[in-house]
Structure 1
């Protein structure tokens, strides 16, 4: 895949500002999913998330988009937790991206959690695309909200895209902005392999499934890999991309986003923020930002 035509991005929004619905429109417009296939808020696949309107687990989906310049781009949308208690997880999801869509409700304006997550995104030097959502509502005040965004964050008011995730207004403009404004990933396929684990899930048959963003090098099925923080080594049994279903591939290369299975039975052996490298040609340093997981007990 031509790395210059990859765009890795996330969506930052306060609860109920329309992040998941906006993601749905991007997937529908590009034909990534059909309306028949579309379960409401595809990225929020946990019942708890739908019930509360927050995203707890990061999810990823690969979107193929033919832009106005005639080129076809691969857009990797990495969903971020929308809850204040998941700051570290948000930071790792952001670290997998080069850009972020900042969604602000046209009726409510900028909220505190939006500010917190945006500053996290700016710390990671992400290109920010402001979107004012729900402009179709009678109580919408897009001009005032655009001015508020300019005053708080310093973006030009006219940079903001006016959108309605409900009606689909602004969807094409947003896709073009993603292609034009967000830079392609850096890194090379020839360098020593470095892949960031930005999320994982446990499967009773396959063990731990690690969600990863390749920064340098490549990983192929059958490769012996090493977790740089824990030192544990495994053999890759399966690789894949999110299209949006988990779709097997033979290898994942620098700039790409996908998942990895390696018969890992212990969740602690593959931690969010850790760097995966190859055992026979390891990277000398891990990717920055890793923090060891803390054991916590949640009650009630």
Structure 2
């Protein structure tokens, strides 16, 4: 992915103030948005690992997703933004093979996805650690999930050690969840995914419950993990600033699950030093998000 070594999240007011001069360059609310199938969004990363085409999901007459297209290449980090009710979490579950769409297809390197795969890992906002297990046993627990390959004891140990080292918890093997901070617990949850050596990493607002400083640390860690592993990564978030700091591409979903727009984030690192460029993008994304919410207020259903 595009390197980003974020060290501190800039305050939203800083983004807005710095962007006022360039606001005329941002799209107006009535401007047409970029097509989700625009080929220029695929250019920097090569063939996708996972591809979702024309995804639809309905429960009776209630549409959760409609005609969503999303592809993610190895080493690419794509953030999915959208108001509550736009189907972001549902889209992740479909990409993970946990939920079958009503319409459309999901392919992994051209092969139809028919269920969960050992090389696709999904993490949630809640770390979901088992309180009676140590850190290393919680990480090892991910290797016992359905469809995981049988591993020798030495290979399991090597994977656990490598995953904990990657997230900065090499010293914490024998701690228990009650001894961990919120940030440490999220690192353990991420290590549990990494021990599986996934080729795709799907993250459902994993940093939403963390304080600002811890969240910034986890954002830096995520960028490092994607760079080190080359995993095709999708991050669901409500935080525009988070998406701008870590993403190679941002996709905006509207209510009733339609793809409204996407942006390639071609901003060099350190991104905190690119306040004007990020500020213009932030205003454009915020305007599009506000428009989506205002248009769909009367039809919103809480299906995030």
Shorter-chain TM-score tier: under 0.3
TM-score scaled by structure 2?
Answer: 0.26
Q: Looking at secondary structure, tell me which structure has more strand per residue.
A: 1
Structure scoring higher RCO (CA < 8 A, sep ≥ 6) equals 2
